[in-house]
Amino acid sequence: MLEKNYLWRIYWRLAGVIMVCVVVALAVVSYFSHRVFDRELVPETEQKAATVGASVRALVLKATGYGIDFSQLYGVEQTFAEVFEENPEFAYMAITNTDGNVLYARGTEPIGARTHFRNPVVLQIAHETTDLSKAARVGQQYIVSMPINNDGKPLGVLHVGIDAAFVDHVLLEVLLDVLVVLVVSLFFTLELLNFMAGARLASGLGEFARQVDRMKAGDFTATARIRANDEIGRLLRRIDSAIDHLNVRYEFLAGELQDKVRTATAQRREALKPAQAALEAITKRLRFGSAPQAADGDEMNLNRIRAPLFAFILAEELTRSFLPSYVNQLIVAIPGISPQVVIGLPIMLFMLIVALGQPYLGSWSERVGRRKAMLVGAVVATIGFTGTALAYNLYDLILWRSLCALGYAMVFVAAQGYVLDRTGQQNRAQGFALFIGAIMVATVCGPSIGGILADNIGFRASFGVSALMSLISILAIVRLPATEAVLPTGKPTRGPRMREIMALVVNRRFMTLTGLAAMPAKIILTGVCFYLVPLYIVSIGNTSSMAGRMLMVYAVMMVLIVPLSASFSDATMRRDRYVSVGLIISGLSGLLLLLSDSFLVLFGVVFLLGLGQALSIAAQSALVAEHCQEEIRIYGHDAVYGVYRLLERLGNALGPLIASLLVILWGYQGSFVALSALVLFCGIAFTIATHGSEWQPATPAHP
Amino acid sequence: MGTIRVRFIIVALVVSFFAVGMAAFLNYFKYKSTISGIVKSRVLVIGRNIENSVQASLSVGMQFMELGTMNQLLQREKASDRLIRGIDVFDQTGQVLYSTERTRVGEKVVNAWTEAAARSKSTEWGTEAADEYVAGISLKNNFDLTVGYLAMRYSAEEVDRAAKVAGREILLASIFSFLGIALVAPLALIVVIRRFERDLRALEAAASHLEDRTEPALPTGSAFDGAIGNLRSSLRDANGALDDLRAKLDSVS
Amino acid sequence: MMRALLALIVIAFALEAGGDAQAQVTTRPYRIYAITFRGMTDVEKGFQDYFAARRIPVQITFRDLNRDSSRMPGFLEEIRRTKPDLIYTWGTGNTLAVAGTYDNVDPSVNITDIPIVFTLVAAPVLAKVVRDLKNPGRNVTGVFHVAPTESQIRAMASYRPFKSLGILYTPTEQNSVVVVEEVREVSKRLGFTVIAKPLKLDANKKATAEGAADMVRELKQQNAEWLYLPPDTFLGTIAQKTVIPAALAVGLPAFASTEQLMETGAVAGLVSRYHSIGQFTAYKAEQILVNKVSPAKIPVETLTRFALQVRMDIAEQLKLPPPLPMFNYAELIVPKPEEAPAAPAKQ
């Protein structure tokens, strides 16, 4: 454990240094961008101010044309206010007469405006008969001035003030995205450190730690391994050689003793007794000789799955924040189905294919080999992403998305199998932590970056990036070890049988866990995060980037809370209570939208949803093992978990469907609220259902 | 001692390349969208003026097809901004009814225009061709029936030129800050890496003396002291046991 | 003489030299039988213009009731005989005479088997022409012309904001009573007070102009800032001679809810242009004739954009120039010099 923590300390320190460098670099880029923005945007905005001003002037002249006195106009300020509403970068507008006295004004008057208006040069503008306008910096504004001139008769001057800080506002909007980039960079750094150096270092240090432990326990068996030619490798070789020496010495001594005993007389034999006793004591306490050939470099190979998995999942996650909007753009009216449902259709189908495909793909990947299965999956998905990027309309889009789904399911299952093949009872949890870790980091980085990309280079090009990412994952998969680890217990895994599904679906205990906890949790996850958030955000006039940020909040919550709740749920509280609390928090999330429909509230929704899901997710599946022991005994562990996962994933597919139907009935906000209410109801029902004594943990770990 | 150090530095470079690249990308596109937004809204101001006139004519009972003064109005509005190359009004079939260029009347507009107009959910729409942008407004009558479309063609040059200038400068700034990182980051990282390397070296040094029966080298202060101690004591223990055996054997002869 | 009133207008399609004939070529033009109430108005012009603009061949037979309901049976008989494709009815009276109310249809009198498109019915639900505007449910649909009350109030407020609104109305006209109720509803939301004064009734329970001028003066004393003229038939007849001059004398601006009231001398009004109404009616007819949609499924609607009219001479007289933004969208009316502000306008 020491070595793991040690390595992470190093990583964090390295990441810290890298982040500081990145922040400085970003500041430099922002500073120069600001300079460019300032220099280029201001003249453009002055041009626009001149055009807007001309339009206001035309209105004023129209009014005076109807005989209304120039100084008796009504509602001029109202006109100015309307201009501000459409052009937030304008801060001040005024009309003066030919003496420079302000007749009408609205907005924040810059310091020094009055003197500026009376400046003879400025007053001269009133006598211009051309469309000329002049700009000058006054206080915190750029004032664009133009004549109001009725057929040669000067009436006054119109001034439009541009807030000099508007450039700052423009850049502030970028800053939010830059912050997202920073967060993503941090996760990216850690992932890369792990990929570039970590896999080897971690396995090296792990090996070192195990060696120390082994020797402490008196195991001095020599391991015949090829050590890498790096720092850790050299270190391990030193230890190996020390052990070798020890072994040689032992062999020699043992041999010598044996020789002596064989050739000795009875009397000498007696004298050799203490030595023999000592040797016996040694062989009892310590072990020498050569160790059995251990599975070669399993831990290191395990680590190698992380990079390709991350790259592949990232490709899919990139699309989360804008896929619904893209579908919306390509939509084709399907008679009899509401467009809301049609938008959800590709997501639904994706989840369905993943759910139904997984059990069968599991045994398939075992037959063809994990690496090959991943390779096929990634190729299929790459074709899918490319097709999606070039999709003609909804129909072929659905085909392409189905390919993505198939590829996703293949890679997911094969990678899972890869981890299973290379872990034993004791390090399986660690193996899955690695597997989940790669996925989680991808969910943090994907949607936010995807949203930014979609806003700037468009949906299609963003899918192109996904295809590229998927292609990169192919390259990483190719580098995986070609030899497959064969499970010692060669029992092929299989999908759950219909009979088992039927039996479990009517089992009350099993369905309390699945139907009231696991499925609702997935329904609200896909319904809200994959369907409602991207669509609602865009429908209220916000961007895909914002949707991406929302989804990032969710993912960050998961990354931060899941490890905590996983360790706590074993220690402090009954697992089912965690699930209850998690479900209820998830269920409360959408109700926030009853308060206000601002997108800030939506952040709260996603935050609570992330918190709720993170609390319950780790405990949920463990509960099955805890409470369905009877069922596991009858149907077997694999079958029970197979059905559990199948139903959970069907929940994934149901999410967008239910959400879209609710949108038709009650609109986006109503759908959020109703979906949450459903989960809240399930959460409460689950709490009540698990209250009874039959739900007490079989072995109360903590009184 | 090379490989790990190099790997860490590569990570730093890859990450900062990503971050700086994304920031440059974001700034550039923000700039481009802001500037084209400003230019477009400027064109739309003129479009709204035309729309008001059309609306007024329609509401006093004039036929959309028979707005006599329309061509002159378009000419006048076009002249008010040098950016505008031409203004067309076309009907739902895409046929141009009025235009600043007489020859265009009766022609069909490109499909992209009618598609963009039909797709737009508000009354404003727009398309971007290689050298010419179009800002459009859907003209509606008093009962919200779209009677036609107003399209203002304006030069893409203004936006492109500005974008090119800004793009170049942002790119330069990014390259320089990336180069800055490439110089500074390895130095900064070496401070952290050194410590790590020192730990590893201490470990290696300790390991190289594992078999010396001499007393342990002074504590290295690294995080591995405990482990090394363990290692040494295990080895010492084993050696001790073997020594004991040796002594017992020797005592016999 | 019916013969004299007959105006058969066939809109022939003189396809222009370019000959860009649209695909809408039918073997024969659609036959429409139109019954007007007081001769040809702008509504009919808009109705015909729409078909012309859309190049839809129609043959319209116009019949004018000329405010004489005894002519109706003859029209109905002619409809039965000629079997037109569609019937156009102008105003509430004509519409009810042809179609009957939704709860009282006499097949021997009313027409049920030919689609009816009505126009200029102020309150189709109140008059029992249809039960539900969105879903007429019978072989009748059409267009109403009064702008929603709230839109009118908002238009008034955008001309000059107010805290107190005065209304004159005829208590025996149900239409007006309903509008006054609606104004009270709106006032709760927008926060202003309503001073509504019913006109006096004579011994025969008929409204009279007596005391109307005094009421206007009272309203002014009670700090009303606007005088709202609801779509009230009787008020329309006395506005020009009695109400408006009294209001102008005390400097109380009047706001009109219909084009006729506008012509009596209100400073501003939110009205439906008859021409637009006619076009919209033709649009509904197109849905039935060309697109073959059942009238029962075509909602009864009014315009989405109304004409805000301003009498510039009255505005000047009251020293209340329209606010600047209004110059963008309002229809500014400057009467010809010989027409004095309070002089009778053309009928």
Q: Give C165-213 pLDDT, tens digit per residue.
A: 999 999 988 888 889 999 999 999 989 999 999 999 988 888 888 889 9
Q: Is the pLDDT of residue B201 over 50?
A: yes
For position A159, what pLDDT does the model report? 94
Q: Is the pLDDT of residue A330 over 70?
A: yes
Q: Is the pLDDT of residue B112 over 60?
A: yes
Burial of A577 (0-12, 13-18, 19+ CB in 10 A): middle
The 8-class DSSP code of residue A157 comes to: E
* Residue in the structure block whose two tokens are 């937030």: A88
Are B77 and A83 within 8 A, CB to CB? no
CB-based burial, A66-100: b 16+ in 10 Å, e otherwise: eebebeebbbbbbbbebbeeebebbbbbbbbbbeb
For position C186, what pLDDT does the model report? 92
Tokens of C121: 């019915």
Bridge partners, residue C165, by sequence: C194, C226
Chains that touch B (3 or more CB pairs under 8 A): A, C
For position C280, what pLDDT does the model report? 93
How far does the CA of residue B142 sit from the closest CA of chain C (Å)?
A: 5
Average pLDDT over all residues of chain A: 81
Q: For residues C226 and C229, what is the distance between their CA atoms, to the nearest angstrom? A: 10
Residue B121 backbone zone (phi > 0: left; psi -120 to 50: alpha; other: beta) = alpha
In this structure, are strands C164-169 and C58-64 parallel, antiparallel, or unpaired? unpaired
Residue A576: name the closest of A615, A630, A529, A539 by CA.
Answer: A615
Lowest-confidence segment of C82-86, C256-260, C318-322 by average pLDDT: C256-260
Residue C290: name the closest of C9, C30, C27 by CA.
Answer: C30
ipTM: 0.78
- Secondary structure element (H or E) that encloses residue A92, with its range: strand A90-97
Q: Is the pLDDT of residue C125 over 70?
A: yes
Best interface-test mutation with B: which of C47, C271, C276 has the largest number of B CBs within 10 A?
C276
* Amino acid identity, position A350: F
Average pLDDT over all residues of chain C: 85
Cβ-based interface (< 8 Å): residues of A facing C: 59-60, 62-63, 66-68, 72-76, 78-79, 82
For position B102, what pLDDT does the model report? 86
Contact A74 C324 (CB under 8 A): yes
Using only C-alpha atoms, chain C has a radius of gyration, in whole angstroms, of 22
Cβ-based interface (< 8 Å): residues of B facing C: 52, 55-56, 58-61, 63-65, 95, 106, 140-145
How far does the CA of residue C282 sit from the closest CA of chain B (Å)?
A: 12
Tokens of C55: 């190049």
Q: For residues A610 and A76, what is the distance between their CA atoms, to the nearest angstrom? A: 50
Confidence of residue A3 (pLDDT cuts 50, 70, 90): low
**HSE (CB half, 13 Å, CA atoms) of A509?**
16
Tokens of A548: 């991406």
Q: For residues C189 and C191, what is the distance between their CA atoms, to the nearest angstrom? A: 6
Burial of A21 (0-12, 13-18, 19+ CB in 10 A): buried
pLDDT in tens, A465-497: 999 999 999 988 888 777 766 554 445 555 567
Q: Is the pLDDT of residue C17 over 50?
A: no
Nearest 5°: phi and psi at B120?
A: -60, 140
* Amino acid identity, position C337: P
Q: How many CB pairs under 8 A join A and B?
A: 260
Contact A177 B184 (CB under 8 A): no
Three-class SS of A240-296: HHHHHHHHHHHHHHHHHHHHHHHHCCHHHHHHHHHHHHHHHHHHHHCECCECCCCCC
Using only C-alpha atoms, chain B has a radius of gyration, in whole angstroms, of 39
Q: Is the pLDDT of residue A678 over 80?
A: yes
Q: For residues C226 and C250, what is the distance between their CA atoms, to the nearest angstrom? A: 12
Best interface-test mutation with C: which of A57, A66, A158 has the largest number of C CBs within 10 A?
A66
Are A95 and A72 within 8 A, CB to CB? no
Q: Which stretches within A458-505 are classed as H helix?
A: 459-478, 498-505
Q: Is the pLDDT of residue C322 over 90?
A: yes
Q: 0.95 cut: is pTM over it?
A: no
Greater model confidence, C30 or A565: C30
The 8-class DSSP code of residue B131 comes to: S
Q: Is the pLDDT of residue B215 over 60?
A: no
Three-class SS of chain C: CHHHHCEEEECCCCCCCCCCCCCCCCCCCEEEEEEECCCCCHHHHHHHHHHHHHCCCEEEEEEECCCCHHHHHHHHHHHHHHCCCEEEEEHHHHHHHHHCECCECCCCCCCCCCCEEEECCCCCCCCCCCCCCCCCCCCEEEECCCCCHHHHHHHHHHHCCCCEEEEEECCCCHHHHHHHHHHHHHHHHHCCEEEEEECCECCCCCECCCCHHHHHHHHHHCCCCEEEECCCHHHHHHHHHHHHHHHHHHCCCEEECCHHHHHCCCCEEEECCHHHHHHHHHHHHHHHHCCCCCHHHCCCECCCCCEEEEEHHHHHHHCCCCCCCHHHHCEEECCCCCCCCCCCCCC
Contact A78 C324 (CB under 8 A): yes
Contact B142 C273 (CB under 8 A): yes
Best interface-test mutation with B: which of A18, A171, A273 has the largest number of B CBs within 10 A?
A18
Are A234 and A204 within 8 A, CB to CB? no
Confidence of residue B217 (pLDDT cuts 50, 70, 90): low
CB-based burial, C248-278: b 16+ in 10 Å, e otherwise: beeebbbbbbbbbbbbbbbbbbbbbbbbbbb
In chain B, residues with a C-beta closer than 8 Å to the C-beta of A10 are 192, 196
Q: What is the mean pLDDT of residues C108-119?
A: 92
The 8-class DSSP code of residue A393 comes to: S
For position A694, what pLDDT does the model report? 58
For position C347, what pLDDT does the model report? 35
pLDDT in tens, A14-36: 888 888 888 888 888 888 888 88
For position A213, what pLDDT does the model report? 76
* Residue in the structure block whose two tokens are 């090829």: A226
How far does the CA of residue B114 sit from the closest CA of chain C (Å)?
A: 19
Tokens of A162: 């541009």
In chain B, residues with a C-beta closer than 8 Å to the C-beta of A281 are 241
In this structure, are strands C86-90 and C116-119 parallel, antiparallel, or unpaired? parallel
| Torsion sign over Cα A347, A352, A354, A355 | positive
C268-271: strand order across its sheet: C193-198, C164-169, C226-229, C254-256, C268-271, C307-311, C331-333
Q: Is the pLDDT of residue A703 over 50?
A: no
Confidence of residue A224 (pLDDT cuts 50, 70, 90): low
pLDDT in tens, A391-445: 888 888 889 999 999 999 899 888 888 887 777 666 666 677 778 788 888 888 8
Nearest residue in chain B measured CA to CA from A83:
B45
Which of B162, B177, B192 lies closest to A25 in CB terms?
Answer: B177
In chain A, residues with a C-beta closer than 8 Å to the C-beta of C327 are 59, 62-63, 66
Contact A68 C334 (CB under 8 A): no
In chain B, residues with a C-beta closer than 8 Å to the C-beta of C272 are 142
CB-based burial, A656-674: b 16+ in 10 Å, e otherwise: bbbbbbbbeeeebbbbbbb
Q: For residues C212 and A90, what is the distance between their CA atoms, to the nearest angstrom? A: 50
Contact A78 C312 (CB under 8 A): no
pLDDT in tens, B140-162: 888 888 888 999 999 888 788 88
Q: Is the pLDDT of residue B213 over 70?
A: no
pLDDT in tens, A146-190: 999 888 788 999 999 999 888 888 888 788 888 888 888 888 888
Burial of A229 (0-12, 13-18, 19+ CB in 10 A): exposed
Confidence of residue C4 (pLDDT cuts 50, 70, 90): very low
Which of B158, B188, B252 lies closest to A17 in CB terms?
Answer: B188
Are B128 and B110 within 8 A, CB to CB? no
Which of A59, A67, A68 lies closest to C328 in CB terms?
Answer: A59
* Residue in the structure block whose two tokens are 């802001």: B34
Q: What is the mean pLDDT of residues A371-386?
A: 91
For position C12, what pLDDT does the model report? 34
Tell me how many degrees the CA angle A231-A234-A237 measures, rounded to the nearest 5.
150
Chains that touch C (3 or more CB pairs under 8 A): A, B
Which of B52, B141, B142 lies closest to C328 in CB terms?
Answer: B52
Say what percent of chain C tops pLDDT 70.
89
* Amino acid identity, position C213: A
Best interface-test mutation with C: which of B97, B143, B144 has the largest number of C CBs within 10 A?
B143
Q: For residues A460 and C52, what is the distance between their CA atoms, to the nearest angstrom? A: 44
Q: What is the mean pLDDT of residues C232-260?
A: 90
Contact C325 A82 (CB under 8 A): yes
* Residue in the structure block whose two tokens are 């295990």: B234
pLDDT in tens, A111-160: 989 999 998 888 888 887 776 777 888 888 999 999 998 887 889 999 99
